[in-house]
């Protein structure tokens, strides 16, 4: 029974949170679509109600829901009949449920306050974006990438023999096809391009020491013994502004938001009388640890 109550409370918490947030952000906008789309008991869903619920969804979901309106309507109907049944059972009067609803109300009001005071007041200009792009070039660089081929064999002895053949002028590609036990053997050992951090550390460490067309000594990893050839290296370059513009805008927005949030909290703390009983707090913590 306890688990059942927890599930019921969790469902109500979610329903209340979504409903209240929709009310807070939707505005009035009910001048059209008064036609009844569905009647569920005594609850009427109008066309404008339905459209409003869709518009309150995250933008990435709206297009999907508009193509599957019947499924979305059935979800609303299911939620409504479940809610009506919960009310008939008097669950809205349950003390635990009321506590959860009150907590949900607090969180939603806080979210609206932060939206009004912080998010809606922040405007990141193109000039700020360009300045950040110019002043933090290293932040918006592509990683260095390397292209290598390798020959993988099970034993050090075999690796040493491969090296001797290469020293005698044998083609690296031909030796990879003939001797390597790695799936890349059919491509002459070519791994392709990769950024730092993608392959095994000891393998990458050996790659970074090579010049283009240089062949390594024997490199041991958990896979076996490698002979590596660096075939290309591309240094970091700054990404075009249009590729990182939204990323910069989001970063600057978050920085400004954090500043405004800290200022808001500081101001509220300064004008609010707050007293914490440290002894009670400490005693409470000790009781919980016993």
Report the candidate in 227, 142, 141, 158 with the shortest Cα–Cα distance to residue 191.
Answer: 227
**The pair of three-digit structure tokens given for residue 271, joined into one six-digit string:** 């004008």
Residue showing tokens 């969790």? 10
pTM for the model = 0.61
Q: Let me know whether 71 and 15 are in one domain.
A: yes
Q: Let me know whether 162 and 83 are in one domain.
A: no
Q: Which of the listed residues 75, 100, 117 is the one where a domain comes to its end?
A: 117
**The pair of three-digit structure tokens given for residue 229, joined into one six-digit string:** 């050839």
Q: What count of other Cβ atoms lies within 10 Å of the Cβ of residue 44?
A: 12
26 part of a folded domain: yes
- Residue 250: in which H helix or E strand, if any? helix 241-271
Each residue's pLDDT, cut to its tens digit, for the chain (290 residues) gives 445 444 444 444 444 444 444 444 444 444 446 899 999 999 999 999 999 999 989 888 998 998 999 999 999 999 999 999 999 999 999 999 999 999 999 999 999 999 999 999 999 999 999 999 999 999 999 999 999 999 999 999 999 999 999 999 999 999 999 999 999 999 999 999 999 889 999 999 999 999 999 999 999 999 999 999 999 999 999 999 999 999 999 999 999 999 999 999 999 999 999 999 998 888 875 555 55
Question: Whole-angstrom Cα distance, residue 152 to residue 226?
Answer: 5
DSSP lists the bridge partners of residue 151 as 227
Residue showing tokens 């700054």? 238
In which domain, by residue range, is 30 found? 2-117
Q: Which of the listed residues 117, 151, 173 is the one where a domain comes to its end?
A: 117
How far is residue 145 from each of residues 55, 80, 197, 235, measured CA to CA in Å? 44, 55, 10, 7
Task: Determine whether 204 is exposed, middle or buried from the number of CB atoms within 10 Å of its CB (0-12, 13-18, 19+).
Answer: middle
Q: Say if residues 223 and 152 touch (Cβ distance below 8 Å).
A: yes
Q: Let me know whether 227 and 249 are in one domain.
A: no
Q: Let me know whether 227 and 243 are in one domain.
A: no
Number of domains in the chain: 3
Q: Let me know whether 223 and 245 are in one domain.
A: no
Q: Let me know whether 246 and 229 are in one domain.
A: no
Q: Which of the listed residues 211, 234, 257 is the one where a domain comes to its end?
A: 234
Report the candidate in 98, 108, 105, 110 with the shortest Cα–Cα distance to residue 9.
Answer: 98
Query: Which pLDDT value is given to residue 197?
Result: 87
CATH number for the domain spanning 160: value is 3.10.50.40
137 part of a folded domain: no
């Amino acid at each position: 029974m306890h688990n059942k109550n927890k599930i019921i409370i969790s469902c109500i918490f979610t329903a209340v949170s979504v409903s209240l947030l929709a009310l807070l952000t939707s505005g009035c906008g009910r001048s059209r679509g008064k036609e009844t789309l569905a009647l569920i008991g005594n609850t009427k869903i109008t066309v404008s109600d339905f459209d409003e619920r869709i518009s309150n969804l995250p933008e990435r979901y709206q297009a999907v829901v508009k193509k599957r309106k019947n499924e979305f309507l059935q979800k609303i109907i299911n939620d409504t009949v479940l809610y009506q049944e919960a009310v008939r059972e008097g669950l809205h009067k349950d003390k635990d449920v009321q506590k959860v609803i009150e907590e949900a109300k607090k969180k939603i009001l806080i979210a609206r306050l932060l939206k009004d005071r912080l998010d809606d007041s922040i405007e990141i200009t193109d000039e700020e974006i360009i300045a950040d792009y110019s002043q933090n070039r290293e932040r918006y660089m592509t990683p260095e990438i390397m292209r290598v081929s390798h020959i993988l064999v099970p034993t050090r002895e075999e690796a040493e023999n491969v090296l001797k053949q290469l020293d005698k002028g044998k083609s690296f590609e031909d030796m990879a096809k003939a001797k390597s036990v790695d799936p890349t053997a059919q491509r002459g050992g070519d791994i392709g391009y990769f950024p730092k951090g993608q392959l095994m550390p000891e393998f990458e460490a050996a790659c970074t020491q090579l010049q283009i067309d240089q062949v390594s000594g024997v490199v041991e990893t958990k896979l076996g013994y490698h002979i590596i050839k660096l075939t290309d290296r591309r240094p970091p370059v700054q990404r075009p502004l249009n590729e990182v513009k939204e990323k910069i805008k989001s970063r600057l927005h978050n920085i400004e938001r954090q500043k405004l949030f800290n200022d808001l909290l500081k101001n509220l703390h300064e004008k609010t009388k707050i007293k914490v009983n440290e002894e009670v707090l400490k005693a409470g913590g000790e009781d919980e640890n016993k």
